[in-house]
Each structure stands twice: as structure tokens, then as C-alpha cells.
Amino acid sequence: MTIAEVIGELRSGMTIGIGGWGSRRKPMALVRALAASDVTDLEIVSYGGPDVGLLIAAGKVRRVVTGFVSLDSIPLEPHFRHARQRASIELTELDEGMLHWGLLAAAHRLPFLPMRAGLGSDVMRVNPELRTIRSPYADGEEFVAVPARRLDAALIHMNRADARGNGQYLGPDPYFDNLFCLAAARAYMSCERLVPTAELLTSGPPQSLLINRAMVAGVAETPNGAHFTSCVPDYGRDEEFQALYARSAASPEDWSKFAAEFLSGSEADYQAAVAGFAASHADAAEAVEEVRP
């Protein structure tokens, strides 16, 4: 599939899950295209990073379901922060593990799964729809009944995939991308590189094949498509660019400038602008080197 074909499957009002974690292995090429589309009024379920921030900045988000929104090396996501402080988005704030449990319940087609996380905390106060359940066994203990987090669609990004929808992560952490896919009615996977099926195991062991073709409805090749989040071992987080993103979010004027420079065109335009930014940054770094004794 092309990026446009994936976005063409999404509708306003949908609940969309996004894989990765914080500012790590996010399907940013798909997120950028979604931000530039006509689709709106979305409920976003995510271990939140700049995916949530970009969609909020583009006015696409009605509600965020998350345990945090962070850029990792920059702890607070600026767009999420502004939106919360203006109360311009709704929030379902969960413990990180509760989000995992909600996705697992949805993947298993269960209405809920019992859990200790949440008991005694204000997560129960700010989510009055959450219920507790008593164990039917002799212990009689009370747990949070974490509701299934069913998704209309999921977007994930892998290092490698084949055209049939088998996906491979080569970094240290699978995050929860397979659960996002199984919790969703339809899941779409972008990847750094599309390879013949026979080549998948030349890059990593069988257990790196986290995604199988029963989990996904379509695959799109998006080189550097997780930028500026990390996609190790293909590339790390682009810290300079992330810092620019965060700085630009500080004022509407700076954000307009950032959006005009990087977000006004196609994914190819974005990648060209990023290459230009990297080159000018490298020049600046070299200039600094030269003045050092």
C-alpha cells in the first residue's frame, strides 16, 4: 500500500491505536499523513510521544487514552501539555500497565481483565467509568476490571516487513505493537524496508518476527518513516530535530514556521527538508569544530 492508501482507510471519529513507546519506533510517516488529511475527531490510544503531539497540533484529536505523553529525552510533550492546559482535548489517563491490559483484553476478545493497578489511586477518580470486580474464588479480593481497549484501526512501524504483512523488529524492545494490531479491526504497518520473505531471517532470529500477516491489513514501505523517533538499529532518535520540534511548539508563530518548512508537503518533501536540516546542522557543527584550538 501507499501511505495515501492507508490514510484513505481511516475515517473521522475512529479510535486509532498507535504502536511504539514515547519517542521510539513510532509510525511517523503515517502520522504525518494523517495529520495532513481531512480525517478528524479521533480517539488516540498510545504510549504517547510526538505521534500524539503532531495530531493534537493538527486539530485531529478529540480524546487521548494513555499513561503518559513524553519525548523521552525531553520529558514533557509540548502540544499535549498546551492542549491539556487549555482543556481542548479529553483525556483517559491510565496506568501504563492498565493500557497494556486493556489492549490484551481486546486482543483476547474479553470485555475486561482484572488488575491491581489503579486501586487506591486517583486514576479511579478521573475515570469514573472504571469498575472493580471481586474474585469469585476463596480469596474474595477486589481488582480493577480494566475494560478492553478495542480499536477501529492500528498503525505500527517495523524495521523490516514483506509485502504479505510479516513484520520484523530489530531493536531491543517489541513494545506492544502486536497487541495494538490484534486489538484493532484493521491494522496497518509501515516499515523501513520491504524485503522478500526469504530475506527476513537474514536480519534477525525467528522471534524478531513480531507481526504475522494474520494481524495486518496492509503494509507500506516508508524509509526513515519513524523519524524523528528512534528506530534502532536503522537509526537512533534525531535529538537535534526533536529539540527543534519541541522549541517550535512553544509559540504559534514558531510552530507555523516549523509546519510550513516540514509539514506542508508530501512525505518525500518532509524527508528532503529533514535532509536539508541535517546538512545545515552538520555545517554548523563543523564551523564550531574549526574555531576550537
Residues that bind another protein (CB under 8 A): 21, 48, 66-70, 75-76, 80-81, 84-87, 93-98, 100, 115-123, 125-126, 135, 139-142, 172-176
Compute how many other C-beta atoms are within 10 angstroms of the C-beta atom of residue 53. Answer: 27
**Grid cell of 91 as nine digits:** 483525556
Shortest Cβ 137–another protein spacing (Å)? 11
Measuring CA to CA, how many Å separate 222 from each of 6, 158, 200, 216, 219?
Answer: 12, 10, 17, 16, 10
**Grid cell of 219 as nine digits:** 503494509
Nearest to another protein of 118, 165 (CB atom) = 118
Nearest to another protein of 103, 220 (CB atom) = 103
CB 164 within 8 A of CB 211: no
Nearest to another protein of 121, 266 (CB atom) = 121
Shortest Cβ 16–another protein spacing (Å)? 19
The angle subtended at Cα 140 by Cα 136 and Cα 145, nearest 5°, is: 70
Shortest Cβ 57–another protein spacing (Å)? 15
Residue 134's contacts (CB-CB under 8 Å, 6 or more residues apart) are: 140, 141, 142, 143
Terminus-to-terminus CA distance in the chain, angstroms? 53
Shortest Cβ 221–another protein spacing (Å)? 25
Shortest Cβ 237–another protein spacing (Å)? 12
Nearest to another protein of 33, 145 (CB atom) = 145
